[in-house]
Structure 1
Amino acid sequence: MSRERVLATALEIVDDGGAEALTMRGLARELGCNAMALYRYAESRDALVDSLVESVMADLVTTPGATDWTAELRRVAHRFRALAVAHPRMVPLLVTRPLATPLGLRPLGTLRPLEVLLDLLVDAGFSPADALHVYRAYFGFLYGHVLTELQEVVADPDESDALLRLGLHRLPRSEFPRVRALADELATYDGVTELDQGLDILLAGLQRQLRYAD
C-alpha cells in the first residue's frame, strides 16, 4: 500500500458516492486493510480530505517560466474545468474545503497555483496587491463557472424536447417567460464556449487595467 494508492482509491469513492461516502472504514474496506493502517497516511478523515484535494489540485499544473499571462490564465482555466468535469463530485471540496483551514496551514500543493500565478501576474506588470485581487477574481470566476456548468448537466440528453428535458414545462408561462424562451440555449450549454466567453470578458478588463496602470 502507498499514499498514491490510498488517495487514488479515496478519489474513486468520492467520484462514485460524493464526499459523504468517504470514511476511513469504507476506504480500508476498499483497500483490503485494517482502518488503523490508514493512519500512517492520514491522521484523520479531515487530513485525508485535505490530502485528496491537494492531490487533485496537483494536476492543475502551470507552465514554468510562462511569459504570456493571458494565455497561461486561459490554459489553467481550461485545465481546471477539465478536472471538474472529470471529477464533478470533487468540486464542492475544491471550492469549499480551503474555507475550513487557515491559509498558512493548508497543504502546500493547494497553495502552489497561488504562488505561481502571483509570480506570473507580477512579472506581467501588476503590483503584488493587484495580482492578488486578479487571482481572487479569476478563481472566483472559475469556481462559479464549473458550478454553473455542472448544474446544466441533464439526466436524459437524448430527449428531444428541451422544455421537457429541463423540466421547464413545469414553470408557469406567465411568471417565467424569459427562462422558458431560452430552453434551447439552456439545453445546448457548451461549457468550453461559455468558459472562453467569460475569460474574454475578464482578460480584456484586466488588460485595460494594466495599460492604465502604465
Structure 2
Amino acid sequence: MATTQVDPALRDCDPPTGGKLSRERMLACALEIIDREGIEKLSMRRLARALGHDPMSLYRYAPNKAALLDGVAETVLNELTVDPTDPDWVAQLRAVARRYRRIALRHPHVVPLLVTRPLATPLALRPRGTLRPLEAVLALLTRAGFSGADALHIYRALFGLLHGHVLNELQELVDNPEETDDLLRLGLHRLPIGEFPLLRSLASALATYDGAAELERGLDILLTGLATTPIQLA
C-alpha cells in the first residue's frame, strides 16, 4: 500500500485554534519552517497550507514574502534582550553578545536575515522590531556617559564583531569527517605548503574551534580597548 507523504510543515505548525489567524501565529509558523528547512523552502502558499488557511488570508498580515521575512527577523530579535539601565555597560554588552550568539545557533537559517538582509534596506525603512536592540544599546551607552555618536560607533564595532563571528561559526569546517588527521579532515593538505605554511600548521587549532571561547576572546579585545581608550571619531 502506498503511503502518503505528509508535508513536514503540516506536522509542526498547528492550525490556529478556532480557525483564527494572527500575525504572531503566522510568523511563528514561518520561523518553524525556516528553522527546519531553510528560507528557500518558505512560500506564502506553503505557509498557508501549514496554517490551514487560504493563501490570500496571509496577505492581511504580510503583503509579500519580503515583508514576511522581515517579520521573522523581528520575531527572532525579540529574543535579544538588552538592559539599558545596567550600570556596568561592559558586562551588559558582553551579555548581549552571548545572547546574540545563542539566538544565531538556535536559528542558523535566519542568520542571513539578521546579518546580510538589512544591508540592502535604509535604516529608517527597516522593521521597527529590528531597530530596538540598537536603540537599547544606544540608551545603555549614553547613560554610561558616551556621546550619541560614540555610542553608535561602539554598537557598530560590537555587531560587526558578532556578525562576522556567527557567520564563521556556522560554516562547515570539516571536509573529510572520516579522517583522523586534522590536516586531512579540513582538506588543508590540498594547499601548497610553500604558499601556505602557517595555515597548514594551524590545522589542529582550526579543528578544535570553540565558538564560545572564540567569541570571548574577540569581546576581550574589543571591550577592553573601548573601556580603556577614549574614542576619537574622524
TM-score with structure 1 setting the length: 0.91
Larger relative CO (CA 8 A, sep 6+): 1 or 2? 1
Shift of 1:161: 2.3
Conservation of the 8 A alpha-carbon contact between 2:86 and 2:140? yes
* Equivalent in 141, 148, 153 of residue 128 of structure 1: 148
The answer for the alignment partner of 1:166 in structure 2 is: 186
Secondary structure, counterpart of 2:193 in structure 1: coil
Matched, 1:91 2:129: no
The answer for the alignment partner of 2:76 in structure 1 is: 56
In structure 1, C-alpha distance between the alignment counterparts of 2:43 and 2:231, rounded to whole Å:
51
In structure 2, C-alpha distance between the alignment counterparts of 1:109 and 1:119, rounded to whole Å:
16
Greater per-residue helix proportion: 1
Task: Choose 1 or 2 for highest CA Rg.
Answer: 2
> Which residue identity lines up with residue 89 of structure 1 in the other structure?
H
Q: What does 1:19-38 correspond to in 2, within 5 Å?
A: 19-38=39-58
Secondary structure, counterpart of 1:40 in structure 2: coil
Q: Which moved more, 1:147-156 or 1:118-127?
A: 147-156
Conservation of the 8 A alpha-carbon contact between 1:24 and 1:45? yes
Conservation of the 8 A alpha-carbon contact between 2:89 and 2:141? yes
> Which residue identity lines up with residue 207 of structure 1 in the other structure?
A
Superposed CA RMSD: 2.0
Secondary structure, counterpart of 2:209 in structure 1: coil
Conservation of the 8 A alpha-carbon contact between 2:176 and 2:184? no
TM-score with structure 2 setting the length: 0.84
The answer for the alignment partner of 1:44 in structure 2 is: 64
Q: What does 1:1-214 correspond to in 2, within 5 Å?
A: 1-154=21-174, 159-210=179-230
Q: Kindly provide the CA deviation profile for residues 130-175 of structure 1, in whole angstroms up to 9, marking residues without a partner as x.
A: 1111111111111011111112554776753222221222222222
In structure 1, C-alpha distance between the alignment counterparts of 2:46 and 2:63, rounded to whole Å:
16
Conservation of the 8 A alpha-carbon contact between 2:83 and 2:140? no
Shift of 1:211: 9.1
> Which residue identity lines up with residue 133 of structure 2 in the other structure?
P
For these two proteins, the number of residue pairs brought into alignment is: 212
In structure 2, C-alpha distance between the alignment counterparts of 1:182 and 1:17, rounded to whole Å:
34
Secondary structure, counterpart of 2:143 in structure 1: helix
